[in-house]
């Protein structure tokens, strides 16, 4: 599936707390619904004698997306005067994690919806936990169904206090807490006069305040080498620019080795496509001044904005292996074009379907588990934290011939672990 453009926001929360209603309202208020969607839902409501549900408006998008697409999240695009957004609606946290980690959906921000009357529930916590695993920092907590608690300021504050305490334990510090009624459209696109005590922005204005991540072209150069071709007496380094730009004459550093040289030429087939600069998204071939017998797997970057170079990193992984992931077993790790032997050194915590926290001692990860793991590679590799760069911050774990897990790097600093 083609990834849609726009700032990507995932909406999570306990079932029935009002995720779909809030999304439906946002779409309705920004005129982002497909033609006829509102009429259709109104008609069905009338025919069945049921109340009009904003949540049903989302069905129109699901229909649209059902055509042979493998991703199991729905992506809905909408616009404000400020910019473009993509709302990611996942049927459950497993699907969302799987899609996030595999790269099918890349949420940059999250709305965590909590029912004001029911307060913080198991899934509200689980979803908070999930955001921390993914390192999503731009989080707004939406306290919904404020109409059911008479728009009470004290109820709002007590739900906020409970959630804050839980999330801070995970290192998640939401940027805002917003009291709303998705059903009645309070504090969605308009400031609510039912809650004059609330001085913050309604959801729409609040998301417009989010700082979008730098576009991939403005990020530090990442040029993973795919192949090196010998051509006459020259060696052409080929690959795809994954971030930033590369210009003839640039001083570059080749990671993880750290040798420095200068870009001599950017190759071209004809005079017409001759260029001095190539940018993120382009496949290219270059030559460099000093020949270091470069090879596939190395990453070309610029001095001063190198990736992390280490043989150890902390990651969140989604396990889909036929057999369990076990500590110290040898696997193959593929990250960008690098391939290296690796092992799991420590399983820090696991989320499974039935419990929120990892059991005391965890020494394996089973099918469909999501876990935080410390990996050690045989040789140092070059990588980034996923939040900084999605291509050099994501990897797969291969067991024999099978892709058994997908992961994202959440920290790369050297992690102190007693050597065995």
Residues lying near ligand GDP in the complex (CB under 6 A): 13, 15-21, 53, 55, 144-145, 147-148, 181-183
With respect to ligand GDP, which residue has the nearer C-beta, 99 or 144? 144
Q: Decide whether 139 or 373 has the Cβ nearer to ligand GDP.
A: 139
Nearer CB in complex with ligand GDP: 69/148:
148
Residue closer to ligand GDP, measured from CB, 182 or 239:
182
Q: What are phi and psi of 374, to 5 degrees?
A: -100, 120
Measured in degrees and rounded to the nearest 5, phi and psi for residue 123 equal -70, -30
Minimum CB distance to ligand GDP, residue 290 (Å): 58
What Rg value do the Cα atoms of the chain yield, rounded? 24
Shortest distance, CB of residue 90 to ligand GDP, whole angstroms? Answer: 11
Cα(276)–Cα(386) distance, rounded to whole angstroms? 29
Instruction: Provide, rounded to whole angstroms, the least separation between the CB of residue 189 and ligand GDP.
Output: 14
CB of 199 to ligand GDP, least distance (A): 20
Name the nearest CA neighbour of 224 among 213, 208, 239: 239
> Distance of alpha carbon 198 from its chain centroid, rounded?
30
DSSP 208-274: HTS-PPPPGGGSPPBEEEEEEEEETTEEEEEEE--BSEEETT-EEEEETTTEEEEEEEE--SSGGG-
Angle at CA 128, nearest 5°, toward 123 and 134? Answer: 125
Pick 180 or 408: Cβ nearer ligand GDP: 180
| Closer by beta carbon to ligand GDP, 192 or else 301 | 192
Count the Cβ atoms, other than its own, within 10 Å of residue 321.
21
Q: Residue 93 belongs to what H/E stretch? A: helix 93-102
Query: Least distance in Å: CB of 82 to ligand GDP?
Result: 25
Q: Do 116 and 159 meet the contact criterion of CB atoms below 8 Å apart?
A: yes
Beta carbon of residue 260, minimum distance to ligand GDP (angstroms, whole number): 53
């Amino acid at each position: 599936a083609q990834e849609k453009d726009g700032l990507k926001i995932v909406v999570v929360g306990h079932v029935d707390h009002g995720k779909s209603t809030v999304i439906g309202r946002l779409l309705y208020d920004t005129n982002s619904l497909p033609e006829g969607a509102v009429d259709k839902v109104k008609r069905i409501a009338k025919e069945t004698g049921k109340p009009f549900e904003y949540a049903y408006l989302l069905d129109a998008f699901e229909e649209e997306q059902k055509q042979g697409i493998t991703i199991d999240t729905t992506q809905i695009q909408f616009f404000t005067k400020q910019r473009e957004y993509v709302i990611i609606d996942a049927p459950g946290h497993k699907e969302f994690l799987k899609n996030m980690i595999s790269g099918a959906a890349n949420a940059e921000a999250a709305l965590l919806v909590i029912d004001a009357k029911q307060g913080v529930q198991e899934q509200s916590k689980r979803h908070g936990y999930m955001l921390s695993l993914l390192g999503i920092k731009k989080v707004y907590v939406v306290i919904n169904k404020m109409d059911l608690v008479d728009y009470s300021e004290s109820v709002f504050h007590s739900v906020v206090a409970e959630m804050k305490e839980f999330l801070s334990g995970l290192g998640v510090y939401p940027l805002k807490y917003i009291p709303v009624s998705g059903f009645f459209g309070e504090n969605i696109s308009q400031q609510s006069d039912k809650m004059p005590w609330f001085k913050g922005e309604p959801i729409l204005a609040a998301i417009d305040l989010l700082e979008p991540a730098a576009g991939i072209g403005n990020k530090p150069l990442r040029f993973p080498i795919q192949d090196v071709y010998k051509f006459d007496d020259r060696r052409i380094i080929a690959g795809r620019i994954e971030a930033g730009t590369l210009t003839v004459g640039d001083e570059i550093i080749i990671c993880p080795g750290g040798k420095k040289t200068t870009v001599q030429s950017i190759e071209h087939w004809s005079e017409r496509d001759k260029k001095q600069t190539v940018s993120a998204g382009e496949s290219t071939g270059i030559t460099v001044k000093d020949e270091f017998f470069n090879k596939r797997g190395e990453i070309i970057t610029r001095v001063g904005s190198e990736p992390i170079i280490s043989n150890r990193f902390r990651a969140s992984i989604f396990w889909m292996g036929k057999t369990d992931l076990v500590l110290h077993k040898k696997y193959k790790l593929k990250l960008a074009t690098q391939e290296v032997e690796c092992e799991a050194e420590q399983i820090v915590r696991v989320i499974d379907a039935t419990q929120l926290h990892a059991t005391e001692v965890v020494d394996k990860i089973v099918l469909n588990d999501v876990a935080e793991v410390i990996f050690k590679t045989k040789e140092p590799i070059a990588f980034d934290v996923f939040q900084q760069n999605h291509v050099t911050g994501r990897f797969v774990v291969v067991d024999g011939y099978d892709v058994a897990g997908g992961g994202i790097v959440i920290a790369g600093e050297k992690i102190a672990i007693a050597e065995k």
